[in-house]
């Protein structure tokens, strides 16, 4: 490697995050930041890292796409038989992270995870492009396969079977993370970053606190 990783440096100076300028409701604060990321045309602004816990407390991460956010929580869709699906079935808690590099911002969310209802999963599945709907049938996600040719053959098989109207596979649908913690990170100069943490108290009210960077 020609470049020393230890010598890489960046000064974060784009913005600041102050308690008086942030929303008391973390979801509204998140939606504001997400809209700013979309307006700034940040690549894959809806992409988020999903962390789950497996057998023996072993963590794993992957990137998924946010497909819904409201007062109930944050939603993504996937194969229930995947590694993350099995881990969530055994340990229904997860963490999400958005990293908008261009805005020097990170959002972290933690909470309990539950499946969305069938009607909601059906509605989203029907809105997907045809190739994506066939792909949900064709890919035995997280399983070992002999080669890419297996996927191509599966796609051809299910394409022939369902034509233009593939139904939602029973093993595919949505998850919703119901947050009990949020953290908003804004990069600042001299590594004195802004970190605002929100947590639910016993009364169900969001408490906002500043964390040291």
Per-residue model confidence as pLDDT tens digits over 152-208: 999 999 999 999 999 999 999 999 999 999 999 999 999 999 999 999 999 999 999
CATH entry 2.30.110.10 includes domain 14-128+170-210: yes
Q: What are the CA-CA distances from residue 94 to residues 73, 107, 126, 137, 138 (Å)?
A: 12, 14, 27, 26, 27
Average pLDDT (4-8) is 85
Determine whether the annotation assigns residue 141 to a binding site: yes
Per-residue pLDDT reduced to its tens digit, 34-58: 999 999 999 999 999 999 999 999 9
Of the pLDDT bands very low, low, confident and very high (cuts 50, 70, 90), residue 10 is confident
208 a catalytic residue:
no
pTM: 0.94
Determine whether the annotation assigns residue 67 to a binding site: yes
Q: State residue 79 phi and psi, 5-degree precision.
A: -85, 120
Determine whether the annotation assigns residue 27 to a binding site: no
**pLDDT above 70: percentage of residues in the chain:** 100
Residue 8 has pLDDT above 90, yes or no: no
* Catalytic-labelled residue, pool 105, 133, 191, 210: 191
Determine whether the annotation assigns residue 28 to a binding site: no
């Amino acid at each position: 490697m020609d470049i020393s990783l230890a010598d890489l440096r960046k000064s974060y100076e784009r913005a600041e995050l102050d308690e008086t300028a942030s929303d008391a409701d973390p979801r509204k604060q998140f939606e504001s930041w997400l809209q700013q990321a979309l307006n700034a045309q940040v690549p894959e602004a809806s992409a988020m890292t999903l962390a789950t816990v497996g057998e023996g407390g072993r963590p794993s991460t992957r990137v998924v796409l946010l497909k819904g956010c409201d007062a109930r929580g944050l939603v993504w869709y996937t194969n229930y038989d995947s590694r993350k699906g099995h881990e969530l079935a055994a340990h229904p808690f997860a963490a999400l992270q958005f990293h908008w590099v261009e805005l020097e911002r990170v959002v972290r969310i933690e909470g309990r995870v539950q499946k969305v209802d069938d009607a909601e999963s059906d509605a989203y599945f029907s809105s997907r492009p045809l190739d994506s709907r066939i792909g949900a049938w064709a890919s035995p996600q997280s399983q070992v396969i002999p080669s890419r040719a297996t996927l191509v053959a599966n796609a051809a098989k299910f394409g022939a079977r369902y034509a233009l109207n593939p139904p939602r596979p029973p093993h595919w649908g949505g998850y919703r993370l119901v947050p009990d913690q949020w953290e908003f990170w804004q990069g600042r100069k001299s590594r004195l970053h802004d970190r605002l943490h929100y947590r639910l108290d016993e009364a169900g009210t969001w408490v906002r606190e500043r964390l040291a960077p």
